[in-house]
Amino acid sequence: MPLKYSYLTCPMCDVEVPMGGDEKIGEQIFCPYCQTPLALRKKKTDELYLEEDY
């Protein structure tokens, strides 16, 4: 089953960051609001989230 995620929450500023849907785990994304570098991570439950990636 394909994962669906169009928005993930920035851990720094709580804004919803739009995802293209083809990002890979570990890929670096910049929050468009606070410009924090974020890495795409996956929990054991397959839930995706963003983590600060300095």
DSSP state of 25: T
Binding region for Zn ion (CB under 5 A) out of 1-9, 23-31, 40-48: 23-31
Residue 48 exposed, middle or buried by CB count within 10 Å (0-12, 13-18, 19+): middle
13 or 45: whose CB is closer to Zn ion?
Answer: 13
Q: What token pair was written down for 25?
A: 């785990």
Residues 25-44, one symbol each (x = binds Zn ion by CB under 5 A, - = not), give ------x-xx----------
Using rule CB under 5 A, residue 19 touches Zn ion: no
Measured CA to CA, the distance from residue 38 to residue 25 in angstroms comes to 11
Instruction: Kindly list the residues in this chain that would bind Zn ion in the complex (CB under 5 A).
Output: 10, 12-13, 31, 33-34
